[in-house]
Structure 1
């Protein structure tokens, strides 16, 4: 099982499982921008030796100033963190909810953070027949009345790739709920301005928006994310944060990549072309693909004897292609996988390996019936 530690992208485990070096895998199990880091990152690494002997800015002022200008909000409304995972954990600790509503399937870190503070979970089970879309009806049918409603929602959601409509979140807020919206993959959405709630979070003390910088800029080794809420809420979160949580290299890279408009445009152009192409090819192989608004797709495998996500992961791994077994997400059965969307030549490798594996499972089925 590649998800030994709960996430994709674990190349060390892949090496141990399949007996080949990490650089010989094509990794579809983690959802990084396949263009690789912007050129600035390489230059920053080369010059970083001159600064490594100095403490990082404890307030991360340079990056906060750039993000404030980008979003048109006050710097005091922004907290920089050691990746989105730290900010999820900090928010749950600060709010300390009695019950947390989660829409399953969702990012496992939500549940992990909630369990750490012994909060209960009110599950909202998203339905495959509805494309795993979060609707008002789903919320009303699956949650019980709570004095202080608290929701953690992904938009786009991981692993489904579905956006949550802002009107639904606004309705929850108007009803007295506190809402955390994880927008870790929002940068990949061309209509970001229509769906992101960053600006609204800066003026609403019951709304928290979390953003990641590692996925879009392909820098997962540099843990970097940020949170937006009112100055009062951000100040409370900062009191819980470990000093120097964000190292100086992350701060330098974070400031630099925000200036690369050409990289952002190239990324959106690539995804606009590649996502529909890959979805069409996957459907041509008999897989059911959940509509996605971001850089990964959730698929359901065709019904074949012995074909499960775990079995397919093993067969694909032997061929040097890593995929995510999505059955580990609450609410999904053993027929679901998640694939990142990569560059065309890598996507073709995915499709070739998938076709081979599916043919093998079909052949095994025929042999057993003869």
Structure 2
């Protein structure tokens, strides 16, 4: 039933589709959203905006865009405002940047694309590259590519590159005149000081890459994970320059971000208490999840940074992983199989959740 919601010929498998098919649903462990759930003030703002759905949303995405800019660059928002664009989730913006890269390609051979140095990462980047005719290179190749896309922190593996190694990797892997997308959707979990170890603060680097190498560096965010609003579809991209932002706006369809989503963003970026609670508790809750998993089987290998909202678990065999996925679904606590999409046959991804919810999953896995 869950597989049938995806057209395997045109779409990439993703978690988060099983809850509506489960009569005994308890909690969704298959998506990497914030354990706190949707922030209530922002949810209320989106609900109130429903009363205005007989009007078009703001074509310039304001004041939501300015509010998000202030969140990204406190006290410096207006200096970088023109580089920021909101989209209908990150997926829309990923496709826009890939299309721009293809449009700017001048070679006679198809442009090349490769992902980050991880063995696997979020698949939408490669899907878009394939759809647009790029030649996909293996992630570990030393060859430079016309377009490189790195998810950092990496979903699902949990790998992470701090800012200086990240910049060095970019310089070593993209061709002159190429395009880079770094997806920092999970970066806000790193710490309250996440901006300091993020490309969002590396303005000089982005400018130098463009001025010296004509390399365009974009920073992508899906805001639906940290603020647990995947059904609303809210993403953003930071462009290398105002001119790059203008080029994306030119090919973006009008009103791609709806009114309730804009009102949600306007409110959620001001909810400092929500983020503080996230930073205060996620690492502790993740440690509890890890302890419980290893208590079931000490030979399982847990991957990922301690601050992140999920664990990537190698259960040692496809047989065990498949059984774990089936048992979790039967107990109303679906997890993300590593097989569809990622082809990591012995892996499952498990979201960080409250202890009481984790206990339901662990009880379902006792027989493993």
TM-score scaled by length of structure 1: 0.83
Which stretch shows the higher mean deviation, 291-300 or 188-197? Answer: 188-197
2:302 matches 1:296: no
Q: CA deviation at 1:329?
A: 4.0
Question: In 1, are the aligned partners of 2:283 and 2:308 still within 8 Å (CA)?
Answer: no
Aligned equivalents of 2:87 and 2:124: distance in 1? 15
Question: In 1, are the aligned partners of 2:90 and 2:221 still within 8 Å (CA)?
Answer: yes
Q: CA deviation at 1:173?
A: 4.4
Which stretch shows the higher mean deviation, 50-59 or 23-32? Answer: 23-32
2:90 matches 1:78: no
Query: Partner of 1:165 in structure 2?
Result: 162
Query: Partner of 2:143 in structure 1?
Result: 144
Matching residue within 116, 126, 137 for 2:131? 116
Aligned equivalents of 2:49 and 2:195: distance in 1? 34
Gaps of 5+ in 2: 7-12, 106-110, 211-215
Aligned equivalents of 2:69 and 2:163: distance in 1? 21
Aligned equivalents of 2:187 and 2:357: distance in 1? 23
Q: CA deviation at 1:339?
A: 0.5
SS in 2 for 1:355: coil
Query: Partner of 2:37 in structure 1?
Result: 36
Query: Partner of 2:231 in structure 1?
Result: 221
Aligned equivalents of 2:68 and 2:50: distance in 1? 26
Query: Partner of 2:346 in structure 1?
Result: 335
Q: CA deviation at 1:61?
A: 2.1
2:338 matches 1:326: yes
Aligned equivalents of 2:264 and 2:143: distance in 1? 44
Q: CA deviation at 1:201?
A: 5.3
Question: In 2, are the aligned partners of 1:180 and 1:210 still within 8 Å (CA)?
Answer: yes
Question: In 1, are the aligned partners of 2:115 and 2:149 still within 8 Å (CA)?
Answer: yes
RMSD of aligned residue pairs (Cα, Å): 2.1
Question: In 1, are the aligned partners of 2:163 and 2:198 still within 8 Å (CA)?
Answer: yes
Query: Partner of 1:101 in structure 2?
Result: 114
Aligned equivalents of 1:300 and 1:173: distance in 2? 29
Aligned equivalents of 2:90 and 2:49: distance in 1? 24
TM-score scaled by length of structure 2: 0.83
Query: Partner of 1:363 in structure 2?
Result: none
Question: In 2, are the aligned partners of 1:9 and 1:30 still within 8 Å (CA)?
Answer: yes
Aligned equivalents of 2:47 and 2:2: distance in 1? 33
In structure 2, do the counterparts of structure 1 residues 49 and 299 end up closer, same or farther at CA, with 3 Å as the change threshold?
A: closer
Aligned equivalents of 1:38 and 1:352: distance in 2? 29
